Amino acid sequence: MPAREPVRPLELIGLGLFALALRLAMVWAIPAAGGRPYRNCAPDEPAHFAIVRALASGRAPTWPDETSSIYGAFLPTPYFAQALSLAVAGDLPATERTASSHPAAREYGAARLGSALLGALAVVALAAAAGILACQRGATLSVGLAAACYPQLVLLGAYVNADAFTLCAGAFYALALARWARRGEGEEGLKALGAAGGVVALGQLSGYYLVPATVPWLAWALWRGRMRARALVGPLLAFLLVLGPFLVWNVRRNGGDALGLGRYHRFLLAVRDGPHIRAPERFSAFLASFGKFTDLPLGWPFYLFAALFLASGLSMAVAALRHASGTARRAAFFLGTAVLANLALTVNLYSFVDFSPSGGSLLLSAIFLTGVAVAVPRNVLSARLGLAFTVAYLLFLFAAAVEAQVLVDPHPCLPG
């Protein structure tokens, strides 16, 4: 096991501020939709914003009786941060890019601040998780910078959506899991892990895969005698205490439909006739997990280099498993299980439930894999070559983040 290098709070604060700056720049780059259906950039923002605006005024409207937005059927918790930022900063003056004849346009920037803060917190949590699990300062910085610059993560932290909370919850779940593993994979840290799982369940369905993917690791710890079976009662209660009240609330709001999936099915039957999502559209979700912003994809060289960097880094990470500690191998098994579960859930959502393709459903897995690909090569290659690979990868991601803003900025989300 490498010598332990503690995670430094000031470095985490610096990473958070850097991530926040990138997201605020993208907040400015995406003009407000003004309540109309727009393509490019953030096509579903008006529907999300309708729920955020209602929550900011103290209401939680349901679909279809109180709002035309289907997002009113789901758990409202992913919108709490945006609703809070709108309630606090809703009187911000309108800028040229948010000016519109629609009365709500000036409020978009205030609501987007909540997404930006969630995005910055997600970066801090991912960086801390990497540093705790790897016991290396380099892992903290490289994973934090990779998450801060990952273009699609920047975009989802810059407009009103439910993915921002789901990704942030997943990042803090990874942090709780890393703390549990580093404390001996026993009973210490289990309750925090259970509570973090409850927060994940408060987000979108696309993030649920993280919790069952942890079960094999917990089963191993139980089998090896690192914990008692009764120790699992604590995290289970913590999970239920976090999730339970909001789930009961949604049951009452939706007439028994806890997650809103029944109402979503009714919505699909009302607005769609026959199969809606074609195979090319499903494939677009995989592209969108890196940098396809609806009708504004990054250029093909970015996708090519992203694939080359990712494949090279992951290949070295797999090779490094031969000499890795047992904890690192179990973490790798968890990651593999989580990615496969995420893919299976995504295929199910697109093929059978008929959710619309988006990069958000695959993004957390993409960030996990990118973090591994960025950080591990420094332990495989020589010191100079490993550092060169990591720096080159991070500079590429930063260039992609800048290009994403340059791409979005001159395209004012024209009506579809």
Higher pLDDT, 398 or 276: 398
State pLDDT tens for residues 158-195: 989 999 999 999 999 999 999 999 999 999 999 999 99
Owner of token pair 């677009």 = 284
In a domain, 51, yes or no: yes
pLDDT at 275 over 50: no
In a domain, 414, yes or no: no
pLDDT at 296 over 80: no
In a domain, 48, yes or no: yes
The answer to whether the peptide bond before residue 357 is cis (omega within 30 degrees of 0) is no
pLDDT at 414 over 90: no
pLDDT tier, 355 (very low <50, low <70, confident <90, very high otherwise):
low
pLDDT recorded at residue 411: 60
- CB-CB contact of 16 with 121 (8 Å): yes
Mean pLDDT within 359-384 = 90
pLDDT at 206 over 90: no
Tokens standing for residue 283 = 């494939």
Quick one: which H or E segment has residue 296?
Answer: strand 296-297
In a domain, 196, yes or no: yes
In a domain, 416, yes or no: no
User: Which among 206, 126, 195 is positioned nearest to 161, based on CA atoms?
Assistant: 206
Alpha-carbon distances, residue 171 vs 13, 147, 229 (angstroms): 16, 10, 27
pLDDT tier, 349 (very low <50, low <70, confident <90, very high otherwise):
low
pLDDT at 277 over 60: no
Helices 163-182 and 190-201: angle between axes, nearest 10 degrees: 170
Tell me the three state secondary structure of residue 292: strand
pLDDT at 412 over 80: no
In a domain, 282, yes or no: yes
Higher pLDDT, 409 or 125: 125
pLDDT recorded at residue 92: 61
Tokens standing for residue 57 = 């005024």
Listed range (103-107, 145-149, 227-231, 398-402) with the worst mean pLDDT: 103-107
In a domain, 319, yes or no: yes
Domain membership of residue 133 as a residue range: 9-408
Report the amino acid identity of residue 416: G
Higher pLDDT, 344 or 150: 150
State pLDDT tens for residues 317-344: 999 998 889 999 999 999 999 999 998 8
Distance CA 240, CA 22 (A): 36
pLDDT recorded at residue 29: 82
**C-alpha 198 chain-centroid distance:** 16
Mean pLDDT of the chain: 86
How many independent structural domains does the chain possess? 1
State pLDDT tens for residues 45-102: 888 988 999 999 999 999 988 888 889 999 999 999 999 999 998 766 555 455 554 5
In a domain, 149, yes or no: yes
